[in-house]
Structure 1
Amino acid sequence: MKTIKKRWAALLLLPALALGGCSAIPSYSSDYGNARQQVVGVTLDQQKADEIGQRFTQAFNRLGSEQFLIDAKALYAEQLFINDTLSQYAQRADLVEHFRGLNARLSNVDVRLLNTSYYNDSAYVHWRMAYDLRMFGTTRTMASYGVSEMKINADGKIIFQQDFWDPADGLYRSLPYFGGIYSWVLPFKKQP
Protein backbone atom coordinates (compact mmCIF):
# COMPACT_ATOMS: atom_id res chain seq x y z
CA MET A 1 0.00 0.00 0.00
CA LYS A 2 2.86 2.37 0.85
CA THR A 3 4.50 1.69 -2.51
CA ILE A 4 1.26 2.46 -4.36
CA LYS A 5 0.90 5.78 -2.52
CA LYS A 6 4.48 6.72 -3.37
CA ARG A 7 3.91 5.94 -7.05
CA TRP A 8 0.70 7.99 -7.14
CA ALA A 9 2.47 10.88 -5.49
CA ALA A 10 5.26 10.62 -8.05
CA LEU A 11 2.75 10.52 -10.91
CA LEU A 12 1.04 13.62 -9.58
CA LEU A 13 4.40 15.32 -9.25
CA LEU A 14 5.46 14.57 -12.83
CA PRO A 15 3.50 17.46 -14.44
CA ALA A 16 5.08 19.90 -11.99
CA LEU A 17 8.53 18.51 -12.75
CA ALA A 18 7.85 18.71 -16.48
CA LEU A 19 6.78 22.34 -16.23
CA GLY A 20 9.73 23.14 -13.98
CA GLY A 21 12.06 21.54 -16.48
CA CYS A 22 10.89 23.98 -19.14
CA SER A 23 12.37 26.96 -17.32
CA ALA A 24 16.12 27.35 -17.29
CA ILE A 25 17.81 27.52 -13.91
CA PRO A 26 21.19 29.18 -14.29
CA SER A 27 24.26 27.25 -13.26
CA TYR A 28 26.31 28.76 -10.47
CA SER A 29 29.56 27.27 -11.80
CA SER A 30 30.48 30.35 -13.81
CA ASP A 31 29.63 32.62 -10.84
CA TYR A 32 31.95 30.54 -8.67
CA GLY A 33 34.74 30.59 -11.25
CA ASN A 34 34.47 34.35 -11.73
CA ALA A 35 34.29 35.12 -8.01
CA ARG A 36 37.18 32.77 -7.26
CA GLN A 37 39.39 34.76 -9.64
CA GLN A 38 38.10 38.24 -8.75
CA VAL A 39 37.86 38.00 -4.96
CA VAL A 40 41.35 38.14 -3.51
CA GLY A 41 41.88 37.45 0.15
CA VAL A 42 44.89 37.69 2.40
CA THR A 43 47.63 35.14 1.86
CA LEU A 44 47.24 32.28 4.32
CA ASP A 45 49.40 29.85 6.21
CA GLN A 46 48.29 26.73 8.09
CA GLN A 47 47.75 28.62 11.34
CA LYS A 48 45.43 31.17 9.67
CA ALA A 49 43.55 28.37 7.89
CA ASP A 50 43.06 26.61 11.23
CA GLU A 51 41.79 29.84 12.80
CA ILE A 52 39.28 30.31 9.97
CA GLY A 53 38.02 26.75 10.44
CA GLN A 54 37.70 27.16 14.20
CA ARG A 55 35.84 30.50 13.96
CA PHE A 56 33.53 29.06 11.29
CA THR A 57 32.62 25.90 13.24
CA GLN A 58 32.26 27.76 16.54
CA ALA A 59 29.82 30.21 14.95
CA PHE A 60 27.80 27.53 13.17
CA ASN A 61 27.50 25.49 16.36
CA ARG A 62 25.22 28.31 17.54
CA LEU A 63 22.97 28.01 14.47
CA GLY A 64 19.38 27.96 15.67
CA SER A 65 19.98 30.71 18.26
CA GLU A 66 19.95 34.52 18.25
CA GLN A 67 23.65 34.42 19.16
CA PHE A 68 24.35 32.83 15.77
CA LEU A 69 22.98 35.90 13.98
CA ILE A 70 25.33 38.11 16.01
CA ASP A 71 28.25 35.75 15.28
CA ALA A 72 27.41 35.70 11.54
CA LYS A 73 27.56 39.50 11.36
CA ALA A 74 31.04 39.35 12.90
CA LEU A 75 32.15 36.42 10.71
CA TYR A 76 31.20 37.78 7.27
CA ALA A 77 32.13 41.01 5.44
CA GLU A 78 29.46 43.40 4.10
CA GLN A 79 30.27 42.52 0.46
CA LEU A 80 30.97 38.88 -0.24
CA PHE A 81 30.44 35.89 -2.48
CA ILE A 82 28.85 32.91 -0.77
CA ASN A 83 27.30 29.86 -2.33
CA ASP A 84 26.13 27.16 0.06
CA THR A 85 25.02 24.83 -2.78
CA LEU A 86 21.36 25.78 -2.23
CA SER A 87 21.61 29.58 -2.42
CA GLN A 88 24.00 32.37 -3.33
CA TYR A 89 24.52 35.79 -1.72
CA ALA A 90 26.57 38.94 -2.35
CA GLN A 91 25.49 41.04 0.66
CA ARG A 92 25.89 40.15 4.33
CA ALA A 93 22.44 41.58 5.14
CA ASP A 94 20.78 39.13 2.71
CA LEU A 95 22.87 36.25 4.06
CA VAL A 96 21.91 37.07 7.66
CA GLU A 97 18.24 37.20 6.64
CA HIS A 98 18.68 33.72 5.13
CA PHE A 99 20.26 32.58 8.41
CA ARG A 100 17.28 34.04 10.31
CA GLY A 101 15.03 31.68 8.32
CA LEU A 102 17.31 28.73 9.10
CA ASN A 103 17.29 29.66 12.77
CA ALA A 104 13.52 29.15 12.83
CA ARG A 105 13.82 25.57 11.48
CA LEU A 106 17.07 24.21 12.94
CA SER A 107 17.99 23.02 16.42
CA ASN A 108 20.53 20.73 18.10
CA VAL A 109 23.23 21.79 15.64
CA ASP A 110 26.59 20.06 15.95
CA VAL A 111 29.36 21.22 13.61
CA ARG A 112 32.73 19.54 13.87
CA LEU A 113 35.94 20.71 12.30
CA LEU A 114 37.63 17.69 10.74
CA ASN A 115 40.67 19.39 9.19
CA THR A 116 41.86 22.42 7.29
CA SER A 117 44.31 23.11 4.52
CA TYR A 118 45.14 26.14 2.41
CA TYR A 119 46.46 27.28 -0.93
CA ASN A 120 47.50 30.92 -1.39
CA ASP A 121 44.47 32.90 -0.17
CA SER A 122 41.99 30.01 0.09
CA ALA A 123 41.32 28.01 3.25
CA TYR A 124 39.66 24.62 2.79
CA VAL A 125 37.63 23.73 5.85
CA HIS A 126 36.46 20.10 6.08
CA TRP A 127 33.48 19.74 8.41
CA ARG A 128 30.65 17.51 9.57
CA MET A 129 27.30 19.05 10.42
CA ALA A 130 24.36 17.37 12.14
CA TYR A 131 21.11 19.10 13.05
CA ASP A 132 17.40 18.67 13.63
CA LEU A 133 15.25 20.21 10.89
CA ARG A 134 11.60 21.15 11.43
CA MET A 135 9.67 21.09 8.17
CA PHE A 136 6.16 20.12 7.12
CA GLY A 137 5.15 19.57 10.75
CA THR A 138 7.85 17.03 11.55
CA THR A 139 11.41 17.12 12.84
CA ARG A 140 14.18 15.03 11.28
CA THR A 141 17.78 14.60 12.33
CA MET A 142 20.14 15.09 9.40
CA ALA A 143 23.89 14.97 8.94
CA SER A 144 26.29 15.81 6.17
CA TYR A 145 30.00 16.14 5.45
CA GLY A 146 31.36 19.01 3.41
CA VAL A 147 34.24 21.27 2.53
CA SER A 148 34.05 25.06 2.43
CA GLU A 149 36.56 27.05 0.41
CA MET A 150 36.96 30.45 2.14
CA LYS A 151 38.87 33.68 1.68
CA ILE A 152 39.15 36.43 4.28
CA ASN A 153 39.95 40.12 4.11
CA ALA A 154 42.55 41.99 6.20
CA ASP A 155 39.97 42.34 9.00
CA GLY A 156 39.61 38.54 9.19
CA LYS A 157 36.06 38.55 7.78
CA ILE A 158 34.94 36.03 5.19
CA ILE A 159 34.66 37.63 1.73
CA PHE A 160 34.35 34.39 -0.26
CA GLN A 161 32.82 31.03 0.60
CA GLN A 162 31.92 28.15 -1.66
CA ASP A 163 30.46 25.11 0.10
CA PHE A 164 30.89 21.67 -1.41
CA TRP A 165 28.50 19.11 0.10
CA ASP A 166 25.91 16.60 -1.05
CA PRO A 167 22.41 18.01 -0.49
CA ALA A 168 20.86 14.76 -1.78
CA ASP A 169 22.25 12.77 1.15
CA GLY A 170 22.43 15.61 3.67
CA LEU A 171 18.93 16.98 3.06
CA TYR A 172 16.66 15.89 0.20
CA ARG A 173 16.40 12.16 0.94
CA SER A 174 15.51 12.89 4.57
CA LEU A 175 12.79 15.49 3.97
CA PRO A 176 9.29 14.49 5.03
CA TYR A 177 7.09 13.58 2.04
CA PHE A 178 9.54 14.85 -0.59
CA GLY A 179 12.33 12.50 0.51
CA GLY A 180 10.44 9.38 -0.53
CA ILE A 181 9.70 10.80 -3.97
CA TYR A 182 13.28 12.01 -4.36
CA SER A 183 14.63 8.58 -3.43
CA TRP A 184 12.21 6.91 -5.84
CA VAL A 185 13.14 9.21 -8.75
CA LEU A 186 16.88 9.28 -7.98
CA PRO A 187 17.72 6.18 -5.94
CA PHE A 188 21.14 5.86 -4.31
CA LYS A 189 23.03 2.87 -5.65
CA LYS A 190 25.64 1.16 -3.51
CA GLN A 191 27.67 -1.82 -4.61
CA PRO A 192 28.90 -4.26 -1.94
Structure 2
Amino acid sequence: MTFLRTVTLSALTLLSLVACKSIPSYSADYDKANKEISGILLNDEQALLIGQRFVSAFNTMGTVDFVKNTGRLYADHLYINDTLSQFSTKNELIKHFGGMNEHVSNVSVKLISATHTDDSAYIHWHMVYDFKMFGRIKTMSSYGISQIKINNKGLIIFQQDYWDPANGLYRSLPYVGNAYSLLLPFKK
Protein backbone atom coordinates (compact mmCIF):
# COMPACT_ATOMS: atom_id res chain seq x y z
CA MET A 1 0.00 0.00 0.00
CA THR A 2 2.87 2.40 0.80
CA PHE A 3 4.45 1.70 -2.59
CA LEU A 4 1.15 2.37 -4.38
CA ARG A 5 0.68 5.61 -2.45
CA THR A 6 4.25 6.72 -3.30
CA VAL A 7 3.83 5.91 -7.00
CA THR A 8 0.45 7.66 -7.08
CA LEU A 9 1.80 10.72 -5.29
CA SER A 10 4.79 10.88 -7.64
CA ALA A 11 2.62 10.52 -10.73
CA LEU A 12 0.17 13.18 -9.59
CA THR A 13 2.98 15.53 -8.62
CA LEU A 14 4.53 15.13 -12.06
CA LEU A 15 1.14 15.56 -13.72
CA SER A 16 0.52 18.71 -11.68
CA LEU A 17 3.88 20.18 -12.64
CA VAL A 18 3.30 19.40 -16.31
CA ALA A 19 -0.20 20.91 -16.14
CA CYS A 20 1.13 24.02 -14.41
CA LYS A 21 3.72 24.45 -17.15
CA SER A 22 0.99 24.81 -19.80
CA ILE A 23 -0.37 27.96 -18.15
CA PRO A 24 2.58 29.47 -16.33
CA SER A 25 1.08 32.88 -15.73
CA TYR A 26 -2.64 32.27 -15.28
CA SER A 27 -3.29 35.32 -13.09
CA ALA A 28 -1.14 37.62 -15.22
CA ASP A 29 -2.78 36.31 -18.43
CA TYR A 30 -6.26 36.89 -16.99
CA ASP A 31 -5.38 40.39 -15.75
CA LYS A 32 -3.91 41.35 -19.10
CA ALA A 33 -6.77 39.92 -21.17
CA ASN A 34 -9.45 41.38 -18.90
CA LYS A 35 -7.90 44.85 -19.23
CA GLU A 36 -7.10 44.68 -22.94
CA ILE A 37 -10.21 42.95 -24.28
CA SER A 38 -13.29 45.12 -24.16
CA GLY A 39 -16.69 43.87 -25.12
CA ILE A 40 -19.84 45.80 -25.78
CA LEU A 41 -21.59 47.34 -22.78
CA LEU A 42 -24.38 45.02 -21.68
CA ASN A 43 -27.84 45.30 -20.23
CA ASP A 44 -29.91 42.68 -18.39
CA GLU A 45 -31.56 41.40 -21.57
CA GLN A 46 -28.24 40.95 -23.38
CA ALA A 47 -26.68 39.13 -20.41
CA LEU A 48 -29.63 36.73 -20.33
CA LEU A 49 -29.36 36.16 -24.10
CA ILE A 50 -25.63 35.40 -23.76
CA GLY A 51 -26.45 32.87 -21.03
CA GLN A 52 -29.20 31.24 -23.07
CA ARG A 53 -27.01 30.93 -26.19
CA PHE A 54 -24.11 29.56 -24.10
CA VAL A 55 -26.26 26.95 -22.35
CA SER A 56 -28.03 25.98 -25.56
CA ALA A 57 -24.75 25.30 -27.37
CA PHE A 58 -23.23 23.35 -24.46
CA ASN A 59 -26.38 21.25 -24.12
CA THR A 60 -25.38 19.68 -27.45
CA MET A 61 -22.03 18.48 -26.06
CA GLY A 62 -21.54 14.81 -26.82
CA THR A 63 -23.46 15.09 -30.10
CA VAL A 64 -22.31 15.62 -33.68
CA ASP A 65 -23.67 19.19 -33.55
CA PHE A 66 -21.61 20.37 -30.57
CA VAL A 67 -18.51 21.60 -32.39
CA LYS A 68 -20.60 23.38 -35.02
CA ASN A 69 -22.87 24.96 -32.38
CA THR A 70 -20.03 26.19 -30.19
CA GLY A 71 -18.15 27.38 -33.26
CA ARG A 72 -20.97 29.88 -33.80
CA LEU A 73 -20.42 31.38 -30.34
CA TYR A 74 -16.76 32.40 -30.57
CA ALA A 75 -14.75 35.04 -32.45
CA ASP A 76 -11.58 34.01 -34.33
CA HIS A 77 -9.28 35.69 -31.80
CA LEU A 78 -10.18 35.49 -28.14
CA TYR A 79 -9.09 34.76 -24.62
CA ILE A 80 -10.63 31.72 -23.00
CA ASN A 81 -9.59 29.91 -19.86
CA ASP A 82 -11.87 27.02 -18.91
CA THR A 83 -9.89 26.31 -15.69
CA LEU A 84 -8.13 23.34 -17.32
CA SER A 85 -6.94 24.93 -20.57
CA GLN A 86 -6.29 28.34 -22.07
CA PHE A 87 -6.80 29.39 -25.71
CA SER A 88 -6.30 32.50 -27.83
CA THR A 89 -7.79 31.37 -31.16
CA LYS A 90 -11.08 29.84 -32.16
CA ASN A 91 -9.26 27.09 -34.12
CA GLU A 92 -7.40 25.91 -30.98
CA LEU A 93 -10.62 26.03 -28.96
CA ILE A 94 -12.68 24.10 -31.53
CA LYS A 95 -9.98 21.42 -31.74
CA HIS A 96 -10.13 21.14 -27.93
CA PHE A 97 -13.93 20.91 -28.03
CA GLY A 98 -13.71 18.15 -30.64
CA GLY A 99 -11.51 16.04 -28.38
CA MET A 100 -13.62 16.77 -25.32
CA ASN A 101 -16.78 15.88 -27.24
CA GLU A 102 -15.54 12.30 -27.72
CA HIS A 103 -15.56 11.65 -23.97
CA VAL A 104 -18.97 13.00 -22.93
CA SER A 105 -22.62 12.10 -23.41
CA ASN A 106 -26.01 12.75 -21.83
CA VAL A 107 -25.18 16.39 -21.15
CA SER A 108 -27.59 18.69 -19.35
CA VAL A 109 -26.64 22.31 -18.76
CA LYS A 110 -29.03 24.57 -16.85
CA LEU A 111 -28.82 28.34 -16.69
CA ILE A 112 -29.15 29.39 -13.05
CA SER A 113 -28.71 33.13 -13.53
CA ALA A 114 -27.23 35.75 -15.82
CA THR A 115 -25.99 39.07 -14.51
CA HIS A 116 -23.64 41.71 -15.86
CA THR A 117 -21.26 44.48 -14.95
CA ASP A 118 -20.26 46.86 -17.73
CA ASP A 119 -19.06 44.61 -20.60
CA SER A 120 -18.94 41.32 -18.67
CA ALA A 121 -21.83 38.87 -18.42
CA TYR A 122 -21.63 36.43 -15.52
CA ILE A 123 -23.34 33.19 -16.47
CA HIS A 124 -24.08 30.89 -13.51
CA TRP A 125 -24.66 27.33 -14.70
CA HIS A 126 -25.04 23.74 -13.55
CA MET A 127 -23.77 20.93 -15.79
CA VAL A 128 -24.40 17.19 -15.47
CA TYR A 129 -22.83 14.79 -17.95
CA ASP A 130 -21.53 11.28 -18.42
CA PHE A 131 -17.74 11.16 -18.84
CA LYS A 132 -15.94 8.19 -20.38
CA MET A 133 -12.37 7.47 -19.28
CA PHE A 134 -10.38 4.24 -18.99
CA GLY A 135 -13.34 2.36 -20.47
CA ARG A 136 -15.68 3.43 -17.68
CA ILE A 137 -18.51 5.95 -17.67
CA LYS A 138 -19.09 8.16 -14.66
CA THR A 139 -21.82 10.77 -14.19
CA MET A 140 -20.34 14.14 -13.25
CA SER A 141 -21.99 17.24 -11.84
CA SER A 142 -20.52 20.69 -11.51
CA TYR A 143 -21.61 24.25 -10.82
CA GLY A 144 -19.75 27.16 -12.32
CA ILE A 145 -19.77 30.75 -13.47
CA SER A 146 -18.43 32.00 -16.77
CA GLN A 147 -17.37 35.62 -17.22
CA ILE A 148 -18.07 36.40 -20.86
CA LYS A 149 -17.45 39.45 -23.07
CA ILE A 150 -18.85 39.69 -26.59
CA ASN A 151 -18.01 41.85 -29.57
CA ASN A 152 -20.49 43.92 -31.61
CA LYS A 153 -21.30 40.81 -33.70
CA GLY A 154 -22.39 38.92 -30.56
CA LEU A 155 -19.37 36.59 -30.62
CA ILE A 156 -17.47 35.66 -27.48
CA ILE A 157 -14.07 37.37 -27.32
CA PHE A 158 -13.33 36.70 -23.65
CA GLN A 159 -14.35 33.85 -21.37
CA GLN A 160 -13.06 32.96 -17.94
CA ASP A 161 -14.70 29.92 -16.34
CA TYR A 162 -14.84 29.58 -12.58
CA TRP A 163 -15.61 26.07 -11.36
CA ASP A 164 -14.07 23.50 -9.06
CA PRO A 165 -12.36 20.78 -11.13
CA ALA A 166 -11.28 18.94 -7.97
CA ASN A 167 -14.85 18.16 -7.01
CA GLY A 168 -16.51 18.60 -10.41
CA LEU A 169 -14.18 16.26 -12.26
CA TYR A 170 -11.02 14.82 -10.69
CA ARG A 171 -12.57 13.22 -7.59
CA SER A 172 -15.12 11.42 -9.76
CA LEU A 173 -12.74 9.96 -12.32
CA PRO A 174 -11.92 6.25 -12.18
CA TYR A 175 -8.48 5.70 -10.59
CA VAL A 176 -7.67 9.42 -10.54
CA GLY A 177 -10.31 10.08 -7.88
CA ASN A 178 -8.80 7.50 -5.54
CA ALA A 179 -5.33 8.94 -6.02
CA TYR A 180 -6.66 12.44 -5.46
CA SER A 181 -8.31 11.32 -2.22
CA LEU A 182 -4.99 9.90 -1.03
CA LEU A 183 -3.34 13.28 -1.60
CA LEU A 184 -6.07 15.31 0.03
CA PRO A 185 -7.70 12.98 2.57
CA PHE A 186 -9.03 15.90 4.62
CA LYS A 187 -11.34 16.98 1.79
CA LYS A 188 -14.43 14.78 1.74
Measured against the shorter chain, the TM-score band is: over 0.9
Larger Rg: 1
Secondary structure at the counterpart of residue 125 of structure 2: strand
Over 6 Å off, 4+ runs: 21-24
Answer yes or no: is the 8 Å Cα contact 1:9–1:181 preserved in 2: no
List per-residue Cα deviations over 1:132-183 (Å, max 9, x = no partner): 0000110000000000000000000000000000000000001101110101
Moved more, 77-86 or 61-70: 61-70
Which TM-score applies when normalising by structure 1?
0.91
| Superposition CA RMSD, Å | 1.7
For residues 77-119 of structure 1, what are the alpha-carbon distances to aligned partners after superposition, in whole Å with 9 as ceiling and x for unaligned?
Answer: 0000000000000010110010000111000000000001100
TM-score (norm 2): 0.92
TM-superposed deviation, 1:47? 0.3
Percent of residue pairs bearing the same amino acid type:
50
Q: Which residue of 1 aligns with 2:155?
A: 157
**How far 1:72 sits from its partner (Å)?**
1.1
Letter in 1 for 2:146: S
AA matched with 2:113: N
**SS of residue in 2 equivalent to 1:66:** coil
Question: Which stretch shows the higher mean deviation, 134-143 or 17-26?
Answer: 17-26
Ranges in structure 1 where 5+ consecutive residues have no aligned partner: none
Of residues 15, 20, 23 in structure 1, which corresponds to 2:10?
A: 15
1:164 alignment partner, SS class = strand
2:27 is matched with 29
Structure 2 gaps of 5+ residues are none
SS at match of 1:183: helix
Count of equivalent residues: 185
The 1-side partners of 2:59 and 2:165 are apart by: 19
